[in-house]
């Protein structure tokens, strides 16, 4: 992971903070801004985000709290959840 950050940061605690922020912010579209904040904006230009790999459709418990944090569906499925319809 230090190589990804161009060896600017070597503290394991700081690297874990970077990893956690990357996981949280990428789904909110804030990752490029966060890299710029840390003066690492060139990393985003070098490795543009083209998507994510997901092994299969279905429910995912992302933080192991017993609840489905994410549900991936094919394009022709519709679900209802708490009176909200997702297509």
pLDDT, the chain, mean: 74
Q: What is the pLDDT of residue 86?
A: 54
The predicted structure's pLDDT at residue 87? 52
What digits encode the pLDDT tens for the residues 50-64? Answer: 667 777 777 777 778
Question: What pLDDT shows up at residue 83?
Answer: 54
Could you tell me where the beta strands, DSSP code E, fall in the chain? 58-60, 70-72, 79-81, 84-86
pLDDT on residue 63: 77
Which residue ranges in the chain fall short of pLDDT 70? 1-7, 44-51, 77-87
What SS3 state is found at 14?
helix
């Amino acid at each position: 992971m230090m190589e990804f950050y161009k060896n600017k940061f070597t503290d394991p605690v700081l690297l874990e903070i970077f990893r956690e922020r990357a996981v949280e912010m990428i789904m909110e579209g804030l990752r490029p801004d966060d890299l710029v904040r840390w003066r690492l904006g060139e990393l985003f230009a070098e490795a543009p985000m083209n998507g994510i790999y997901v092994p299969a459709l279905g429910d995912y418990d992302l933080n192991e709290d017993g609840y489905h944090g994410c549900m991936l569906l094919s394009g022709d499925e519709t679900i209802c959840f708490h009176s909200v319809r997702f297509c």
